[in-house]
Chains A and B, each alone.
Chain A
Amino acid sequence: MISRRDFLQVAMATSALYGASGFGNWSRLAAQQVLSQDQLLEFDTLGNVTLIHITDIHAQLMPVYFREPQINLGVGGAKGFVPHITGADYRKLYGIADGSPLDYALTYDDFTALARTYGRMGGMDRIATVVNAIRAERPDALLLDGGDTWQGSLTALETNGGDMVRAMNALGVEAMTSHWEFTLGIDRVTEIVENELNFPFLGANIFDNEWDEPAYEPYQMFERGGTKIAVIGQAFPYMPIANPGWMFPGLSFGVRQERMAEVVQEVRDAGAEVVVLLSHNGFDVDRKLAGEIDGIDVILTGHTHDALPEPVLVGKTHLIATGSHGKFLARVDLDVRDGEVKELRHKLIPIFSDVIAPDPEMTALVKTERAPYADRLGEVIGQTESLLYRRGNFNGTWDDLICNALLEEREADIALSPGFRWGASVLPGQDITREDIFNATAMSYPAAYRTEFTGEFLHVVLEDVADNLFNPDPYYQQGGDMVRVGGMGYQIDISQPQGSRITDMTILKTGEKIDPAKTYVVAGWASVNEATEGPPIWDVVENYIRRNGTVSVEPNTSVKVTGA
């Protein structure tokens, strides 16, 4: 594996140039001069096969700011391993200089200063430039999308994923798998898969739940560089639990490890020399799967939004983690000879939008898609004094803001905001546009409910969600980060079993302990239950920001974490 060398080259070049110049002193121009498109794309082409991986774009056609998590705790076998290493520890592990472009792209510290230096990341037109450049070197490079593509923006919501389908068709994606795609509803998914998508929609673990028969193509065989490559798709396993099952009532998912072993055997029997798993399992699930099943050469991971500059090797399986929101694209070259992978070379390419030139055709496509919504997207709703970001196991300022809005606008004691991992960041001093609000809220079950919970049930809810994040066996971790709570604090010992993790639930305003027998007014959004009533969350947040004009979010210390 030579990826480390490639990566270190970039890291050393940047640290040498910046040297002792200190934090935040460089102008955007300096960043552009130091980082060049050629440097970002530089790759010593290997062997006969190239894979290009992109995943979890969450419908971000335009470049965005996206702050990586500070708190990302691993439990069980994942404790202390990537991706559960953040900040300075992460930089040390990979030899990334403080204040360097990769510090900005991959870790969270000094995010605001570094964001002002290095600018937004991603953008479909920049991604297109990188894809085209790789294809200029290796015309038959295989472009694969890990899913969570059709959801996450105002335009994707308004077009029912149509804008992203057209963009990904134009980009030349050759296969994808899925998660949030199904929240468009099964009828729309079927319409897209049958009539609009130019490439296969793979999911070996998606079954019809009446007859327990495969519901989608499990894999696609490709011939590239004189080599037979099988790409197996694995959709998000906990779809009907983590998202509203009533939107796709006929489907069943699950990890289905035995099924995966059978499919791997099937493609090997059919002559596959390379087996690629295009997965939306999440990193820890894929890491376990790689240890349990033989015969997968490369797992292109997704769902948990981790970006890792090197593959993680489990047995003979290479796990690739390519981040989210269009911030990164991974190139994986393989030397395949005598029916097996002899060597692999990987580069995580950061998409610095001020450095990589936009591809004019894709720029035009994106502009066309956004044009009908331009006025709505661009309307300024207010300003923020705080950095707004979402990622983190327990809270993020975006969800603190959403919880504050729910508490005030819905007159509740306690607010709950789901632990989603998607949502772009907004820098302090920036206008908050309607697009920014939708980037943190756009989805198909947005009703902001208002209901009553007993203290006992609130505890059951928090314990349930905590187990979905901190169960030591990744196959039992079903979803996103911890539910965000407004108006209430608690302690969590992540090392305890379900039922014993959450203690000291306290109403913040009064300091009063939650009484199991008492009833509390709770406001939240994104209920998975059908017929949930309430205004869409984006209206609640917009009203709150409009009323306040300028918003700021205090540091959140209401969750005390032990056992990490």
Chain B
Amino acid sequence: MNVTRRQTLAIGLGAAAAAALPFGAMAATEDDIAAFTGGAEVGEGGITLTAPEIAENGNTVPIEVNAPGATAIVVLAAGNPNPGVVTFNFGPLAASQSASTRIRLAGTQDVIAIAKMADGSFVQASQSVKVTIGGCGG
């Protein structure tokens, strides 16, 4: 169990923030997706998003995206106050269309990656990442 006063407060605040989020964050995520895709249909496949199932530290969660043939990949944290995390652009000389970074997650939420392919189509992948208080591991 996590029990220091400091973390108690942090978690309490996080929970309160998360509780207040859904409507606004969902709308913001949809806006960000629309801004990237211009409202085009988004397919599946051709993109992989690698993220931990459970974050070891919500403040720095390693993620990796890979979409062969993409010209750009946007990463969104759907439950963060500002869902937009990063956009990677790949020039014609890029050896591979993959990138990794670390992101901060306010709480348990979906991480979404959308790739714009060379032909102008879009594909997406998403994964739920759990941010937990931890403890009690058998």
Binding partners A and B: yes
Enumerate chain A interface residues (CB-CB to B < 8 A).
179, 209, 212, 236, 238-243, 245, 252-255, 258, 303-305, 416, 418-422, 449, 451-454, 456-457, 460-461, 464-465, 467-468, 471, 473, 475-476, 478-481, 483, 498, 522, 524, 526-529, 531-532
Chain A contacts of B100 at CB under 8 A? 212
Contact of A476 (CB < 8 Å), options: B4, B5, B56, B130? B130
Minimum CB–CB distance from A414 to chain B (whole Å) comes to: 12
CB under 8 Å from chain A, chain B span 1-23: 1-5, 7-8, 11-12, 15
Assess A242 versus B56: contact at CB under 8 Å? Given A212-B62, A457-B11: no
Contacting pair A498 B108 (CB below 8 A): yes
Contact of B56 (CB < 8 Å), options: A245, A255, A303, A529? A245
Q: Looking across the interface, which residue of chain B has its beta carbon closest to that of A469?
A: B136
Contact of A480 (CB < 8 Å), options: B128, B133, B136? B136
| 11 intermolecular pairs with C-beta atoms under 8 Å apart | A241-B56, A242-B135, A245-B56, A420-B136, A464-B133, A465-B133, A465-B135, A476-B130, A478-B54, A478-B134, A483-B1
Extra inter-chain contacts (16) besides given A305-B138, A468-B132, A524-B1, CB under 8 Å: A236-B137, A241-B56, A242-B134, A252-B62, A254-B52, A254-B53, A255-B53, A303-B138, A454-B12, A461-B133, A465-B1, A467-B132, A476-B54, A476-B130, A527-B3, A528-B1
B50 CB–A CB distance under 8 Å: yes
A451 to B130, CA, bound (A): 26
Contacting pair A418 B132 (CB below 8 A): no
Minimum CB–CB distance from B131 to chain A (whole Å) comes to: 10
Contacting pair B137 A479 (CB below 8 A): yes
Chain B contacts of A528 at CB under 8 A? 1-2, 134-135
Chain B contacts of A304 at CB under 8 A? 138
A449 to B56, CA, bound (A): 23
Contacting pair A422 B133 (CB below 8 A): no
Assess A419 versus B138: contact at CB under 8 Å? Given A241-B132, A457-B12: yes
Enumerate chain B interface residues (CB-CB to A < 8 A).
1-5, 7-8, 11-12, 15, 50, 52-54, 56-57, 62, 100, 108, 128, 130, 132-138
Contacting pair B11 A526 (CB below 8 A): no
Most buried by B among A179, A421, A451: A451
Q: Helix, strand, loop or mixed for chain A's interface?
A: loop
Contacting pair B132 A478 (CB below 8 A): yes
Contacting pair B56 A479 (CB below 8 A): no
Minimum CB–CB distance from B46 to chain A (whole Å) comes to: 16
Assess A453 versus B138: contact at CB under 8 Å? Given A254-B52, A461-B133, A476-B53: no
A258 to B100, CA, bound (A): 15
A498 to B136, CA, bound (A): 17
Q: Helix, strand, loop or mixed for chain B's interface?
A: loop
Contact of A242 (CB < 8 Å), options: B5, B8, B138? B138
Q: Looking across the interface, which residue of chain B has its beta carbon closest to that of A180?
A: B137
Contact of A464 (CB < 8 Å), options: B3, B4, B50, B132? B132
Contact of A254 (CB < 8 Å), options: B8, B56, B132, B134? B56
A461 to B53, CA, bound (A): 19
A329 to B73, CA, bound (A): 50
Chain A contacts of B133 at CB under 8 A? 460-461, 464-465
Contact of A238 (CB < 8 Å), options: B5, B50, B137? B137
Minimum CB–CB distance from B110 to chain A (whole Å) comes to: 13
Most buried by B among A238, A303, A475, A526: A238
Chain A contacts of B50 at CB under 8 A? 258
Contact of B130 (CB < 8 Å), options: A239, A467, A480, A483? A467
A209 to B52, CA, bound (A): 13
Contacting pair A460 B15 (CB below 8 A): yes
A192 to B62, CA, bound (A): 30
Chain B contacts of A475 at CB under 8 A? 53
Assess A480 versus B138: contact at CB under 8 Å? Given A456-B12, A460-B12, A468-B132: yes
Contacting pair B137 A478 (CB below 8 A): yes
Contact of A526 (CB < 8 Å), options: B8, B128, B132, B135? B135
Q: Looking across the interface, which residue of chain A has its beta carbon closest to that of B19?
A: A499
Minimum CB–CB distance from B111 to chain A (whole Å) comes to: 14
Chain B contacts of A258 at CB under 8 A? 50
The 9 A-B pairs with the shortest beta carbon distances in the complex, nearest first, are A242-B137, A480-B138, A479-B137, A421-B138, A241-B134, A418-B136, A475-B53, A464-B133, A240-B56
